[in-house]
Structure 1
Amino acid sequence: MEIKVCNLEDTKLIGKIIAKNLVKGTVLCLDGDLGAGKTTLTQYIAKEFEIKEYITSPTFTIIKEYEGILPFYHMDVYRINSEDDMYDLGYEDYIYSEGVCIIEWSQKISNMLPANRINIYIQRTNDEDTRIFSIKGQGHAYEKILEELKKHENTCN
């Protein structure tokens, strides 16, 4: 499914819909160019999880842990050079946890990800504020999110 997102309010709405349908054990993978909006979407999702801390991209720390409605793990694997690096970080403890795991730059570790996950690719357009969200996935959380997002396919007015 593709959704055209024209501004931050649209991104906030998408984040709210996604957050409302995430359940423990969900892995959400975010990909796209630098500045596409991966961390911004994560911030809106975290807000719905009642996380009070300001979410930043964990580029240098790789993994940040937050407490909200569910444990919330935010990974940025941009600087990961190999799958061995992920094993050394204990990534399985996060991906196969009772929390929600959001992974930026997940394509770098695609061979290590569970089949049941949600993939969102955010593509920038010629319009500075407009993005195209391409959403694919597998599993119960994905099906619920897809159902809700179909009600908001035309977010741009």
Structure 2
Amino acid sequence: MSLHRELLLPLADEAATAALAQRLAPCLAPGWVIHLVGPLGAGKTTFVRAMLRALGHTGPVKSPTYGLVEPYTVSGLNLYHFDFYRFATPEEFFGAGLDEYFDGTGVCLVEWPEKAAPHTPAPDLTLALAPRPDGSREARLTASTPRASECLDRLAPSR
């Protein structure tokens, strides 16, 4: 099982993004950190919403752009959805006390992690979403830990 394994997947529409989230959800366990990267409108919050639904959350899911973090307890997991888009400096990560969420007991889904770099913990998985000219999206999943690599092995299309 190699680290930094990559998987590139086309996402034809929002339903395909939701299907990817549903396939990833069973991999999650306390301590996971997932970085969500891509331009505005790439589908990062849509992915988080679909993942929460896959885990059984039935309530509202909102973007944490203004509140910085939205906590959820679902399927026995404490899941924290972060959005650092509005950070002016990386030090705001500590100023807001967000480092305390990364103690290994929850699952952290982080939008715009580069805005808090180098303070955000290294991800298990990075999901990069990129719009394509035809309106679809492309997902590049990069595993940086053995458990994320194992998850990508299960997600890879059979040949």
TM over 0.5: yes
CA RMSD in angstroms comes to 1.7
The TM-score, its normalising length taken from structure 1, stands at 0.89
Aligned to 1:36: 42
Change (3 A) 1:115 1:75: closer
Task: Tell me which amino acid in the other structure corresponds to 1:51.
Answer: H
The count of corresponding residues between Structure 1 and Structure 2 is 152
Within 5 Å, give how 1:51-66 maps onto structure 2: 51-66=57-72
Q: Which has the higher helix share?
A: 1
Correspondence list, 1:87-102, <5 A = 87-102=94-109
Q: Which residue of 1 aligns with 2:138?
A: 132
Q: CA deviation at 1:45?
A: 0.7
* Deviation (angstroms), 1:14: 0.5
Residue number among 12, 17, 30 corresponding to 1:6 in the alignment: 12
Structure 1 residues 142-157: aligned runs within 5 Å: 142-151=148-157
Q: 1:95 deviation in Å?
A: 1.8
Amino acid at match of 1:89: A
Moved over 4 A (4+): none
Identity value in percent: 25
Residue matched to 2:3: none
Unpaired runs of at least 5, structure 1: none
5+ long unaligned stretches in structure 2: 1-6
Question: In structure 2, what residue type is equivalent to 1:139?
Answer: T
Q: What SS is found at the alignment partner of 1:79?
A: coil
CA-to-aligned-CA distance 1:6-62 (integer Å, 9 cap, x gap): 012211111011111011110111011111100000011111222222211111111
Equivalent-residue separation in structure 1 for 2:31 and 2:153 (angstroms): 19
Kindly provide the amino acid, as one letter, of the partner of residue 7 in structure 1: D
Match of 1:81 among 80, 88, 111: 88
Aligned partners of 1:115, 1:35: CA distance in 2, in Å? 24
Alignment match, 1:26: 32
Q: TM-score, normalised by structure 2?
A: 0.88
Deviation of 1:113 after TM superposition, in Å, equals 2.8
Q: 2:72 and 2:146 mapped to 1: Cα distance? A: 24
In 2, Cα distance between equivalents of 1:110 and 1:147: 28
Worse-matched range after superposition: 55-64 or 105-114: 105-114
Deviation by residue 1:118-146 (Cα, 9 ceiling, x = unmatched): 11110001112x11111112123311321
Q: Distance in 2 between matches of 1:115 and 1:32?
A: 17
Counterpart of 2:114 in 1: which secondary structure? helix
